[in-house]
């Protein structure tokens, strides 16, 4: 009887143990390339996917892309600062399409931002161009 009680106590103790923490990955700060591939469905193009991780209140350089940029915020918030438009805040779970050739300045909110950025470019097009149109050497 004591053996059965001890076995039951051990079994119940195992049931109340804390569940393991969910596995997650936190990328380093900055743009982290996920894909840079030639999609079979779009010959002569490049699919560019980036996991963007910016610290609180980070501000990047104003720039634009030759094609649309698709932005999905995973954590934190981003201030969408586009030339000619009022600033707009995007929070986790929100998405936005930045039009082709639209000058914008990346800005992270007070808690930083983690976002997935997707672009589809013609093969050979630059990924981004500075707002003033002059590429850094």
Q: Is the pLDDT of residue 73 over 90?
A: yes
DSSP string of 77-118? EEEEEETTS--EEEETT-EEEEPTT--EEEEEEEEEEEEEEE
pLDDT of 123 above 80: yes
d(CA 14, CA 64) in angstroms, rounded, equals 55
Which residue carries 């969910």 as its tokens?
22
Looking at the predicted structure, is the pLDDT value of residue 108 above 60?
Answer: yes
Q: Could you tell me the CATH number of the domain that includes residue 77?
A: 2.60.120.10
More confident of the two residues 8 and 64: 64
Does the pLDDT of residue 72 top 80, yes or no?
yes
Residue 69 lies in a domain: yes
Task: Evaluate the CA torsion angle 113, 118, 121, 124 in order and state its sign.
Answer: positive
Task: Please report whether residue 48 resides in a domain.
Answer: yes
| Number of structural domains the chain divides into | 1
Instruction: Judge whether residue 9 has pLDDT over 80.
Output: no
Give pTM, 2 decimals.
0.76
Cβ within 8 Å of residue 6, ≥6 positions away: none
Q: How far apart are CA 7 and CA 17, in angstroms?
A: 16
Asked whether residue 1 carries a pLDDT value surpassing 90, the answer given is no
21: in domain: no
Average predicted confidence (pLDDT) for the chain: 86
**Is residue 126 assigned to a domain?**
yes
Predicted confidence at residue 76, as pLDDT, reads 97
**Which structural domain range is residue 52 located in?**
27-130
Considering only residues 63 and 20, tell me which one the structure prediction assigns the higher pLDDT: 63
Burial class (CB in 10 A: 0-12, 13-18, 19+), 44: exposed
What span, in angstroms and rounded, lies between the C-alpha atoms of 14 and 8? 10
Asked if the model's pLDDT at residue 101 lies above 90, the reply is yes
Inside any domain, residue 110 = yes
């Amino acid at each position: 009887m004591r053996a059965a009680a001890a076995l039951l106590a051990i079994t119940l103790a195992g049931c109340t143990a804390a569940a393991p923490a969910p596995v997650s990955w936190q990328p380093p700060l900055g743009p982290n390339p996920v894909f840079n591939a030639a999609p079979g469905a779009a010959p002569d193009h490049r699919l560019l996917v980036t996991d963007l991780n910016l610290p609180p209140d980070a501000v990047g350089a104003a720039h634009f892309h030759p094609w649309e940029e698709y932005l999905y915020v995973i954590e934190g918030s981003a201030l969408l600062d586009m030339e000619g438009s009022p600033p707009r805040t995007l929070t986790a779970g929100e998405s936005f399409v930045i039009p082709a050739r639209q000058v914008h300045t990346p800005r992270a909110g007070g808690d930083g931002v983690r976002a997935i950025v997707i672009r589809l470019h013609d093969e050979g097009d630059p990924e981004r161009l500075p707002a003033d149109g002059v590429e850094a050497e």
